[in-house]
Amino acid sequence: MSRSGAIKPALVLTAHGSKDPRSGANSRAVADQVVCLRPNLDVRLAFLEHSSPSLADVLTSVDGPAVVTPLLLANAYHARVDIPAQIANCVTNQQVWQAPVLGEDDRMVAVLRRRVTELGVSPRDDSVGVLVVAIGTSDLAVNARTGRVAPKLLAGTSWAGATTAFATQQERSLSEALGRLRRQRAQRVVVAPWFLAPGRIPDRVERFAAKAGIEMAAPLGADRLVAETVLDRFTATAAGQIAA
């Protein structure tokens, strides 16, 4: 119960889901991090496809209101269409709200920058170019928002440049982005994967990097800052709905 006497909503952390077990393991690790940060919060993990439990099953098991909090980086199809449809199909009198995606939050970008420096890259090395690779979508406006990650990543560094490519487009997208960094006189190029977890698409990007002879950083993973961003999205949504 909250101070006002209202029942606290459950946080239903909703991931995409994957046939790759590494992806599900990372989602569970993020959920565990959220629980560590807020031990008194009812945290449930759900998946949209490929993995279980499903979002419908989790919402059915929640006795009370819930905030579906996407473990997604982009406000693309799954956030705008899939999640609302699944909520509508399984909810009757239950109060269920949807929080925004994680997006280009400064904390998420900070994790990405740290992943790059974990390769032994100094923030003051002006010979470094960073190739940010995201999944991408057919929605150009969503891709444009993802494109903001690269310039934010450069903040506070001396790196030669950063640019964005999308893994779901033709491999040409990655090659062209690599070429842009070379033209900016980047002597050392590293791939910064804008992915939450390992999986089939990140593996494809890793094969590209190996073929091109460049290093690839680790995905964002179950970092504390990822969990903090999840909680921020949940808290803001819950507070707004309860106040309304």
pLDDT value of residue 173: 85
Give pTM, 2 decimals: 0.93
Stretches where the chain sits below pLDDT 70 are 1-6, 91, 170-172, 242-244
pLDDT at residue 4, as a whole number = 46
**pLDDT score recorded for residue 194:** 98
Query: 10-103+223-243: what fold?
Result: Rossmann fold (3.40.50)
pLDDT at 241: 76
Q: Where are the domains of the chain?
A: 10-103+223-243, 106-212
Q: How far apart are CA 152 and CA 175, in angstroms?
A: 22
CATH class of 106-212: alpha beta
Q: Extract the tokens encoding 101.
A: 């995606």
Check residue 3 and give its pLDDT.
46
pLDDT at residue 2, as a whole number: 45
User: CA–CA distance from 84 to each of 8, 88, 101, 128, 233 (Å)?
Assistant: 21, 6, 13, 41, 16
* Helices 224-243 & 21-37 angle (0-180, nearest 10): 60
Are 31 and 13 in contact by the 8 Å Cβ rule? The answer is yes
Number of neighbouring beta carbons within 10 Å of residue 20? 18
